[in-house]
Every structure is written in C-alpha cells, then in structure tokens.
Structure 1
Amino acid sequence: MPEPLRAPGVPSAQAAPADRLVFPPIVEGLFVRGLSGRVTPLLRQQLRSEGLDLDRPLLPAYSLETWIRCVALTAKALHPGESDEVAWRMLGERMIDGYRDTLMGRALLGVMKLLGPWRMLSKAQHGFRTSNNYTEVRITETGPTEAEVWLNEPGMLRYFKQGVMLAMSRAAGGASTTVDVRVFDDHCVTYRVSWKDAAR
C-alpha cells in the first residue's frame, strides 16, 4: 500500500503540547479493562517507570507524553510480530472494547449505537473530549456513506485513533467499516472513513 501523503500540520490552538492531558476513562478502557489479564509483570513494571502505576488508583490525568510512551511500550510488548502501525491500531480497537465496560463508555457507546455512523462522526469531538483535553475534529462529507475526518493527533497516535474510529464506527452500526490514514504530518492526520450502512 503506498505511503499516505504528508501535509503541513495545523497544531491545536486549544492546548499547547505541554498542557495536553489524557483522562482516566481512556486509560481504564485500555489498560484496566481492554487488556485485563494481558499486562505481564514486566510490562506493568515498565509502565510504572513511565508514570502509569496500575497497582494504584488512576491519577486524575496523565500527560500526553506519558500516554504515548505507555502505548508504545504496550504495542511492542503485546504485538511484537506486527508493524508499529498495525500494533497501535489494534490497541485502539482494544481500548474501545474495554471502554465499553466503563460507566462513561457504556453511556457514550449506547448513544452512538442509536445515532448511526454518520451522526456518530458528527459528535466525535464531544466523544474524544471525554478522554482528553486537546482533540479537535473536522469532518468533510464526501458521500452518503463516506467522510474525511481530520484530527490534531501527533505522531503514532494517528494509528491508535484509527483503531478507535474503526471500533466506534462498528459500534454505531456501520457495516464493513474502513478507516484509512490518508494524509498526515507530525501534528495531525486525515482519515477516510466509509461504511455500507446508509442510515443517516
């Protein structure tokens, strides 16, 4: 598959990199619930050294840098035979599986199932803001069952969010959903999201 084109970034105007925070629901969704029984003692120790102690109550927030380091460690540890892109995407999907079991996740995903894929995308910014303080979303409709979605996600998180959107679209009833990374740079990414269910 050809490498996606790279485009000039548009950094978030909402939060400077040092102020970007990730909140407990996404951390719980991935590490506590989504990966329950799969975090080895060695990985648990490595995560602790990076600022995520799974043997204590979760903190009110984690820096984006801490989150990136912890996801990177976990992708390597749990999916050593996969490319980085695939490993990060798989963790994004797993996070939604676990997030579904949290109080906030049950409420949010329950609503999305009623909305359908298109309206789920239209409310994506609200959904992402339950997990962090920085995500901005821009959506361009390109067809009745297709859209381009721009996110200000830095670096390899573009593939984690690819998995998140894939799992969320499926949860919203989008049959045969695909989420392709189309254009990206170090600060942002544009996806092509398509599905077969034409419900609006």
Structure 2
Amino acid sequence: MTNRIVFEHTVEALFIRGLGERVTPELKSRLRDEGLDLDRKLLPGYPQERFTRWLQCSARSLHPDTSEEDALCWLGERLVDGYKETAVGSALFGVLRLLGPRRMLERTQKNFRSGNSYTEVRTTLLGEREMELWMNELDIARHFTRGTMLAGMRACGAKEPRIDVLRHDTDGTTYRVRWSA
C-alpha cells in the first residue's frame, strides 16, 4: 500500500475549525499523545492511520454514549463545517453548490483528493437520485466518510440525503446514496 496522507487543511478543518471549542483540554492532551499537537503549527500532511486514531479518540471523547459509527459520522459532518471555512474548502464548496448532488457525487474522487493523497472512487448511477459509490476506505473511517458525504450532499442542495454503508471488505467500502428533489 502506498503512503496514505491526510493534508494539513483537512486536519485544520476538523480539529481547529469544525470542532473548535469542543476540543477539551483532556481531548487535546490525548490527541497530543497520539501525535497531533494542536498548539503547534500543523505539518503539511499526516499518515492516514494516525488520522484514523485521532478520529477514534475524538469520537470516544466527544460522544461516549453514542455508537462509534454515529460518533464518527458526526465528526465527518463537522469536518465539512470546518472545511467550508478554509481557503481550499471555500472555493470547493462554491463550485459544488453550482454542480448539484449528482454531479458532485460524480466528482467525489477529485473532491476527496483535495484533502488527502489516496482516495479512489467508482460511481454507479442507479436512478435519477440514487448512486452507489465504491471508495477505497478500509477501516472504521468509512463512517466518518459517510458523515462527510452527508454534509456535502446537504451543502450542494440535496434534500433528505441518505447514505448507507452497503458492504466493506479488504479493498474498500460501498455506499448507497439517495436524495429527494
């Protein structure tokens, strides 16, 4: 497997902008122990495995009474909230609003690649407002990705978006994405 890198502005979007004041001193300390010091200048990129550990740590800390899947999905939505505030994200979401849900989904790989070095996507149109997306998401981060896609769908004008994890294996995760007019 090639190096999977999550870029600086993605880390900034989630942990600094999206979560902001929700990052308690205890969580900040736990993240520092796992290699993310939010009091220092961020590095240009971080290994995806480390980013996934930060997601797990944050999910447990911020939503201890929620399932890990739901807590990770919530974090994915916060990433989008924060990403819209970054220079890269602001430009990206300006374009996505113009594209609408279907065209946004068709360019999911390009969208995700603005935040990491590794995402691969295959899309299959199932109907006017329904698609399957296969992504090379290999671990529990698939639930985080589900949250980012939900928030992204809302941001580009999709009504009542629904994203389900259909299956996952050693190659990736398949999602079913639906929305109303």
Which TM-score tier does this pair reach, normalised by the shorter chain?
Answer: over 0.9
- For residues 101 and 26 of structure 1, what CA distance do their matches in structure 2 show? 11
Query: In the alignment, which of 147, 161, 166 is matched to residue 163 of structure 1?
Result: 147
2:72 matched residue in structure 1: 88
TM (norm. structure 1) is 0.89
2:60 matched residue in structure 1: 76
Structure 1 segments of 4+ aligned residues over 6 angstroms from their partners: none
Give ranges in structure 1 of 5+ residues lacking alignment: 1-15
Give ranges in structure 2 of 5+ residues lacking alignment: none
SS of residue matched to 1:140: strand
1:149 matched residue in structure 2: 133
The code of the aligned residue for 1:75 comes to: A
2:11 matched residue in structure 1: 27
TM (norm. structure 2) is 0.98
SS of residue matched to 2:43: coil
Higher RCO structure, 1 or 2 (CA under 8 Å, sep 6+): 1
2:177 matched residue in structure 1: 193
CA root-mean-square deviation: 0.9
Aligned pairs, number: 181
Offset at residue 186 of structure 1 (A): 4.0
- For residues 143 and 51 of structure 1, what CA distance do their matches in structure 2 show? 44
Offset at residue 187 of structure 1 (A): 3.8
Task: Tell me which protein shows more strand as a share of its residues.
Answer: 2
1:111 matched residue in structure 2: 95
The code of the aligned residue for 2:28 comes to: R
The code of the aligned residue for 1:171 comes to: A
- For residues 25 and 141 of structure 1, what CA distance do their matches in structure 2 show? 31
- For residues 55 and 169 of structure 1, what CA distance do their matches in structure 2 show? 32
Would you say the 8 A contact 1:147–1:192 is kept in 2? yes
- For residues 76 and 162 of structure 1, what CA distance do their matches in structure 2 show? 18
User: Identity of counterpart residues, as a percentage?
Assistant: 50
Offset at residue 20 of structure 1 (A): 0.8
